[in-house]
Amino acid sequence: MNPRLPFRFVSAMTLVTSLAATLPARADEGMWLYEDPPRQILRERYNFDLTPGWLEHLMKSSVRFNSGGSGSFVSADGLVLSNHHVGADALQKVGTAEHDYLREGFYARTEKEEIRCVDLELNVLQSVEDVTSRVNAAVAPGLGAEEAALARRKIIAEIEKESRERTGLRSNVTTLYQGGRYHLYRFKRYTDVRLVFAPEQQIAFFGGDPDNFEFPRYDLDVCLFRVYEDGKPVHPEHHLTWSKDGTHDGDLTFVSGHPGRTSRLLTVAELEYLRDVSFPYTLNRLKRLESLLRSWSERSGENARRAKDELFGVQNSRKARDGGMAGLADPVLMGRKAAAEKQFKERLAAAGKYPEALAAYEQLVAAQKAIGAQALRLRLLESGHGFNSESFGIARTLLRAGDERPKPNGERLPEFSDANRESLELDLFSDRPVHEDLEMLQMADALTFLGEQLGFTDPLVQKVLAGQSPRARAAALIQGTKVREVAYRRKLYDGGAAAVAASGDPMVELAKIVDAEARAARKAVEAQEELKHQAQAAIARARFELEGAGQYPDATFTLRLAFGRVMGYEENGRTVPPFTTFAGLYERNAQMKNLPPFDLPPRWLKKKSALNLRTPYNFINTADIIGGNSGSPVVNRAGEFVGIIFDGNIQSLVLDFAYDDVQARALSVDSRGILEALDKVYGVGELVRELKTGHRRK
């Protein structure tokens, strides 16, 4: 929540009023599938034709960061642009106490100076295939929930493996419409990714947490990488051309990125579960972690460096969940959802031919209740919230790899399937820094949290603590384990279950203690999720028949196309213009007396006179985005790069549940502001030239 304005938080009533109203006829809603784009809507609303060539070019220029986020190829020599906060994980991992690239920034003037990222994987979508019929045909009618879940897992693993062997591409089946469709996505996978440029975090995240999810904003939230293959920069078939003119008020723009998750198609029962169970738990945990990491960071500069990226992520997630909770707790928003569901059920009943869809709503209520009974142990044990440390995650991966890899591909847990093996091994054998002191801090707190949630007399909690306090147990585990050594991990992984069992490693032993109950909770929940998929599929089939095509599914961290106008909004009786400039940045800095988090890096103070202060810096549009869209390119009608998504405003935080364009806006760094800063503040002329021409000077 914004510490300066305790309940400016959309003011819940402002948000609710806008959501309750009838949306404008030109509302730019939708996170559209590339395989089913909104051609008719764009033709009728904006006189714009989405041609196959235009779509393919944008699709194959778009990049997914598997660490979470989006990006795009912006030169023919493998240059990829994303957000600084998307690249922060990579910056943190290549940084040291002597070279804090997250804080100080970085620029590689030559190819040799580019720093290879530790474990970064980028994916570029190549093709999509609808495999719904094949998936559903493999789940025979009358199967029990567990048998049906296993059958679905087997056929998905089979489809993915076949595709991977036939095409050489990463192949993943994604569930759409909560089970109404299954699409096979094929990606070109890149793992040799090198850091080229990053500004100081202070200018990338100017205004810090107080201005997070606000507008006006003044952030240079960009980070540039270069993709290599076989030791040489790649030359992608498609990359975005930098716009010479940028964008202007009222212009139609497009966003191509990977929104992570939305919940717009959930039933009222599912939304009530989020409101009453899931969100309160998540917020409680995030606020606890935020306090822990902030306190630890304040003890020393090195502590702050080590925890900075994680603390940022926790704070960002906490504020986003606060906004989502404001929507879920709002009776008008929930009433609107309930009314829409009631109306649709009445249509189903009146049609007289959708008994399965009507029954599905009750099935969802029962399944959600059963999931709720397992949820706490699932989060603490299977999701690892009770053991929050990289060391535990590594140990459990090693333990389960030994158990899962000998099984037939379709019977393994999905993360150990053949389709996911390369990504799993990239992460498992990463030599990223793992700090023992931070690990002990987080695990001690997590073990305390485990005891608080389940009770310290719980038999499993007592086995986990082994007669010690959470702090003492955490110290013994973290200091005693060897799983942070890459060579040791390889030895156990290659040796399989026998090597893992014989290791006697204390963290592996802890993973063994927890594993049976964690697996049991996961299995129970997956069975109920299978029933939910079946129920949602019945509802989706009926909805498609009654309402036809032209619907988009909830976000799934797969590539989507959104569109919207560059447009300001009205707030508290004042007009919020769609653009900010460098002049506004310096005015904000002076207003806050250059005090953190509104202070500017020294070079920005020194170079003020060199800048054209009227240059557009950040802008907003009405495109439909959510977390995961960070780093998404914004393009104009010609498909040219005009900006990069880095945030939404505070009014956008309920877009998880419903779209609104009265005040909700997507925030971008303007293409003109990026070039002006790179040229006048950083003096990186060769990089500016590459962005303008699309080629690196040979």
pLDDT digits (tens, 9 = 90+) for 307-328: 999 999 999 999 999 999 999 9
Closest listed residue to residue 643, CA positions, set 626, 623, 628, 663: 623
- Confidence class of residue 697 from pLDDT cuts 50, 70 and 90? confident
Is the distance from CB of 669 to CB of 221 less than 8 angstroms? yes
* pLDDT at residue 151 tops 70: yes
Query: Does residue 216 have a cis peptide bond before it, meaning omega lies within 30 degrees of 0?
Result: yes
pLDDT tens-digit series, residues 331-373: 999 999 999 999 999 999 999 999 999 999 999 999 999 999 9
* pLDDT at residue 542 tops 80: yes
Is the distance from CB of 589 to CB of 599 less than 8 angstroms? yes
Q: Strand, coil or helix: what is 33?
A: strand
- Confidence class of residue 5 from pLDDT cuts 50, 70 and 90? very low
pLDDT tens-digit series, residues 615-631: 999 999 999 999 999 99
Phi and psi for 493 in degrees, rounded to 5? -65, -50
Instruction: Give the DSSP letter of residue 212.
Output: T
Average pLDDT over residues 34-45: 96
Instruction: Name the strand (E) or helix (H) holding 202.
Output: helix 201-204
Q: For the residues of 659-686, what is the DSSP string, one character each?
A: ---SS--EEEEEHHHHHHHHHHTS--HH
* pLDDT at residue 579 tops 70: yes
Give the bridge partners for 229, in sequence order.
232
Q: What is the CATH code for 31-121+191-264+553-693?
A: 2.40.10.120
Is the distance from CB of 33 to CB of 55 less than 8 angstroms? no
Q: For residue 253, give the amino acid letter.
A: T
Is the distance from CB of 513 to CB of 464 less than 8 angstroms? yes
- Confidence class of residue 3 from pLDDT cuts 50, 70 and 90? very low
* pLDDT at residue 131 tops 60: yes
Domain residue ranges in the chain = 31-121+191-264+553-693, 266-352
Instruction: Name the strand (E) or helix (H) holding 400.
Output: helix 390-404
Q: For residue 313, give the amino acid letter.
A: G
User: String of b and e for 383-414 (b: at least 16 CB within 10 Å)?
Assistant: ebbbbbbbbbbbbbbbbbbbbbeeeebbebbb
CA dihedral 72, 74, 77, 82 (to 10 degrees): -50
Closest listed residue to residue 376, CA positions, set 430, 442, 454, 274: 454
CA dihedral 382, 383, 386, 387 (to 10 degrees): 90
pLDDT tens-digit series, residues 271-321: 999 999 999 999 999 999 999 999 999 999 999 999 999 999 999 999 999
Q: For the residues of 421-445, what is the DSSP string, one character each?
A: HHHHHHHHT------HHHHHHHHHH
Closest listed residue to residue 261, CA positions, set 176, 173, 147: 176
Closest listed residue to residue 398, CA positions, set 320, 306, 322, 509: 509
CA separation for the pair 265, 547 (Å, rounded): 14
CA separation for the pair 694, 77 (Å, rounded): 8
Q: Which range has the worst mean pLDDT, 19-23, 66-70, 393-397, 423-427?
A: 19-23
Give the bridge partners for 107, in sequence order.
197
Average pLDDT, the chain: 94
The predicted structure's pLDDT at residue 13 = 32
Chain center to CA of 481: 31
Average pLDDT over residues 664-686: 98
pLDDT tens-digit series, residues 91-103: 999 999 899 999 9
- Confidence class of residue 655 from pLDDT cuts 50, 70 and 90? very high
The predicted structure's pLDDT at residue 117 = 97
* pLDDT at residue 46 tops 80: yes
- Confidence class of residue 657 from pLDDT cuts 50, 70 and 90? very high
CA separation for the pair 8, 116 (Å, rounded): 42
Phi and psi for 455 in degrees, rounded to 5? 95, 135
- Confidence class of residue 6 from pLDDT cuts 50, 70 and 90? very low
The dihedral sign for the CA sequence 485, 489, 491, 497: positive
Closest listed residue to residue 667, CA positions, set 601, 595, 633, 618: 618
pLDDT tens-digit series, residues 451-497: 999 999 999 999 999 999 999 999 999 999 999 999 999 999 999 99
pTM of the model: 0.92
The predicted structure's pLDDT at residue 21 = 36
Half-sphere exposure (Cβ direction) of 502: Cα atoms closer than 13 Å: 9
CA separation for the pair 56, 182 (Å, rounded): 21
